[in-house]
Chains A and B, each alone.
Chain A
C-alpha cells in the first residue's frame, strides 16, 4: 500500500476510496438518506394503516390512498389545472414583482444612510404587521380580480426581499468596497460589481423565505376573493368535508414549495460556489 502510494502518487486515493466505499457513503450520506426517507415513509404507512384499521376517522383524516386516488382523478379529468394555473399566475406575478422591486430597494437602503433613514419606518411597520390584514383594503382599492391578490402576495414577499437584501448589503466586506474604490470604480460599478454579488447568497436566502410567504398569501387571497385557485379548491372542499381534496390542494402547494426551494438552493450553489467550497 505504502509502496503503491510512493510509486504512483497520483492514483493513491483511488484504492483507498474503493476499499471504504460503502462505509464512507454510509457515513457521509447513507444514514441521513435513510432517516429522511424512512421517517416520511413510516409516517405515511402509519397514516394508511390507521385509516384502514379504523383508528382514524376517514372523514377527518382521509388517507394516503384516498388522497392519491383523488389527485390522479383530478389530474386525469383535468379539473385541477384551472386551479393550478390560477394560483401559479398569482404566485408568479406577486413573487416576481417582489424580487424586482425588493432587491433594488434593499440594495439602495443598505448602501445609502439617507434612503435607509427615510424608508426604514415603513419597512419595519410593514414587516411587523400581519400583511393579510390588508386584504380587505386591497380588495376595496383594486377590486376582487387578479390585481388585489397579486398585491397581497407582493406585500408579503417583497418585505422579505427588502430586509434580506439589506442585510446582505450590510455584511459586504468593506475592504472589497475600498479596493474597488481604489481602482476608480464609481458608485454604480461598486453596486453592480461588489455589493450585488456579495449580497447574492442573502438575496437567494430571502427568495427561499419569500416562496413560503408567497404560497401562504396565494391561499389566503384565494380563500377570500376567488372562485378558482388552489386556495379556493381547499376552502371549498373543506366546506364539503371532502378532506381528500383538501389534502390534494395542500400537497400540490407543498410540492411547489419544496421544488422551488430546491431550485433556489441549487442556484445558490451555482452562483455563489465560494460560500460552499471555502468551508468544505
Chain B
C-alpha cells in the first residue's frame, strides 16, 4: 500500500530567486494490487509526485509510506518508466534492459533469460542489438518499459509510458499491459493524458488540477475485469462512455481554467 501524506513540493530555481509550487498538500492512499491513473493538465505535478513516491526526490513537506515503511530513497521492488525514456545511448536495447539487473547483481545467464523475456513482452525481441539512436520514439519507450519490467517490481510507476506510441500500437500495448497486469496484479501508478486510456486501464482515476498541483477528483472505475479479452465491448459499454464523459467534463474545466489556455 502506498500512502501519500500531505505532500507538498516546491522547486527552487538555481539562484534561489524563484520558488515554484509544483504540488500542494496531496494525500492519497493506493491499495496494493490496484491500477491507478493520474490524469491532469501539463505541469500539474504528476511527474513530480511519481518521483517523490519512488524516492527520487524528497518532498518539501509531507511524506510517503510504502508497505509501512517511510520512503527515503529508491528500492529494488519499485521501478519507474520515465516520460523521457532515459535510455543509455552507449548501450544496445538489450544492454539497457539489462542495466538494472546488472546493477542489482544478477548472474549473467539468468540476466540473459530475463532480458529476452522482457524484450518479448514489449514486442522488441528482434531489436535487442539496436542502439537507442537507431530506434523510433515508440520503440525507445517500450525499451524503457521492458527495463522497468525486467526487475519484477511490486510497484510500477509509469510516466506517460505510451505517450510516444502511434494510436494502434498504443491500443495494442494497453491490451498487453492489461494482460500482463492480470497475471500478477502489481500496484501500478500510471500517468497519462488520455482519458480513454485512464478509464480503460484503471481501478481508479485521480485527477489533478494546476497552480498549485493538487488532487481535484478521485474516481473509482468499476468496469468488469479482465478488460483485455473483449476490449471493444468494454470501450463501447454505456458505463465506459459515462466515465469518459464525466472525466472529460472535469478535465475541460481544468484546462479552461489554466492561465495559458
Name A's B-contacting residues (CB within 8 A). 173, 175-176, 178-186, 189, 193-194, 197-198, 200, 272-274, 277-278
Q: Which residues of B contact A273 (CB under 8 A)?
A: 131
Name B's A-contacting residues (CB within 8 A). 54-56, 74-76, 78-80, 82, 84, 86, 88-90, 99-100, 102-104, 131-134, 147, 151
Task: Say whether B80 contacts A278, CB under 8 Å.
Answer: no
Q: Using A178-B86, A274-B131 as known contacts, list a sample of 4 further A-B pairs with CB atoms less than 8 Å apart, ordered by residue number in A.
A: A175-B84, A182-B54, A184-B75, A186-B103
Q: Which residues of A contact B56 (CB under 8 A)?
A: 178, 181-182
Number of CB contacts from chain A to chain B under 8 A = 60
Main secondary structure of the interface of A (DSSP, over half): helix
A185 in complex: contacting residue of B54, B103, B134, CB < 8 Å: B103
Task: Say whether A278 contacts B104, CB under 8 Å.
Answer: no
- Least CB distance from A255 to B in Å reads 32
A183 in complex: contacting residue of B89, B90, B103, B132, CB < 8 Å: B103
Could you say which of A175, A178, A272, A273 has the most chain B C-beta atoms within 10 Å of its C-beta? A178
Nearest B residue to A277 via CB reads: B133
Nearest A residue to B99 via CB reads: A183
Pairs A–B under 8 Å by Cβ, sample size 24: A175-B86, A180-B103, A181-B56, A182-B56, A182-B78, A182-B80, A183-B104, A183-B147, A183-B151, A184-B74, A184-B76, A184-B100, A189-B103, A193-B88, A193-B102, A197-B90, A198-B90, A200-B90, A273-B131, A274-B89, A274-B90, A277-B131, A277-B133, A278-B89
Q: Which residues of A contact B79 (CB under 8 A)?
A: 182-183
A182 and B132 CA atoms in complex are apart in Å by: 20
A22 and B82 CA atoms in complex are apart in Å by: 47
Q: Which residues of B contact A180 (CB under 8 A)?
A: 99, 103
A165 and B88 CA atoms in complex are apart in Å by: 19
